[in-house]
Structure formats: structure tokens, C-alpha cells
Chains A and B, each alone.
Chain A
């Protein structure tokens, strides 16, 4: 069965600083991997996805993530955060036969200091 671990429940960074959110997954085959962002009172918005090919994927809002099979990781990065990036971030893994039955991590809450 799939599982996802986001080790950091809460991260605080200063505006303009770089960001890395960690995600480790467990799955027996090549996974589909996703990062979603959730602002308060809102649904989940897709930031980026990995299905195959280039292991460094670019997403919206200046985010990127790198798939590292050897480390079973899919960490999210941004070189310079903005106050509007404050939100909850979820990593998810899906089965290879389509993006169905997603399993989500517990989420990382990001706080931005001015």
C-alpha cells in the first residue's frame, strides 16, 4: 500500500528566504507524485505533478520539486518565498494505473515572517 510522510508539521521562514518542504513516499512501483497547496477555507490547488521523465518538475507560483527514486523523496522547493505562500502544503502519491486513490501526507503548514 502507498504511504506518504511529511516530516515537518510546521515550518516558518522569512519572506525572501528559500524554502524546502520534505516528502517521502512508500510505494512498490513507480509512483505518480503530487504537491497540492491549501489556503484557509479553500480546496486543494495543484502545484505540480510527476508522472515520468525529467525528475525535476516545474510548477505554478515558482515552485519546483525533484523526484529522487533512491531516496523515495519528492521535496518541494522555492528559491524565494512571498507572504502569499503562507498555506498548508500536501504531498500525495497515486497508483501508477491512473491518478486514483491518492494517499496524502499529513501536510506541512508554512508560516512566512515579514
Chain B
């Protein structure tokens, strides 16, 4: 079974540009999470969805960040406009239903804003 798939793996763009990160969760998983990893702040939860509905977006840093989950097999995290301080590795994770389950992580998108 395929794991969580993220694209692109690497993104380099200039500040002010729009950036879109994509995630395909594991089939049948009904929760999806977006994390950001930096040296200074470690792994931070940005937002998570249950059954395609955003449940908690308190970790989203500011209005420049937005996330959507139009269906059970796809989610996007968008940054517009991007800034150099957004440079980080962004991870997507998914979780099956049931409380006794761990999250499954994708390989991440390494984002560099110049």
C-alpha cells in the first residue's frame, strides 16, 4: 500500500511568489495533518482535518497560509505571498479512524524562499 505522498519534494522560489504544497493521504485514512519543521521551532502542527473538515487551524502562522481538503484523497497547503522565513520542511501525515492508531508521515517538501 502506498504511503502518504507529498509533492513537490523540493521547491525553491522567490519571495512574494505563491507556493502550493500537495498531499495525498493513505487511502481510507480520515484524518490529515500538516506540520512544519524548522531548526528553531522543531515540528509544529499547523492544521488538521477530520473527514475533509478543518478541525484546528490554531497553528497556522498567519493569513498568508491557507489549507484545503476538497476530497478524501487530496489536500493543499498554500502560502501567498511567500517570505524567506517560511523556508522549512513541510510534512503531511494521515491517520486512520480509531483511537489506537499512529500517524503516518510523508517524506516532506523542503521549501526554500529566496
Seen from chain A, the residues whose Cβ lies within 8 Å of a Cβ on chain B are 34, 36, 41-46, 49, 51, 90, 96-107
Contacts and interface: CB of A to CB of B under 8 A. Distances in A.
A104 B33 CA distance: 14
Contacts of B45: 101-103
Contacts, number: 51
**Chain B, interface SS category:** strand
B86 to A, nearest CB: 19
A18 B55 CA distance: 42
Nearest to B95: A99
A101 B43 contact: no
Contacts of B34: none
Kindly state the interface size class of chain B when it binds its partner. 20 to 34
B56 A102 contact: no
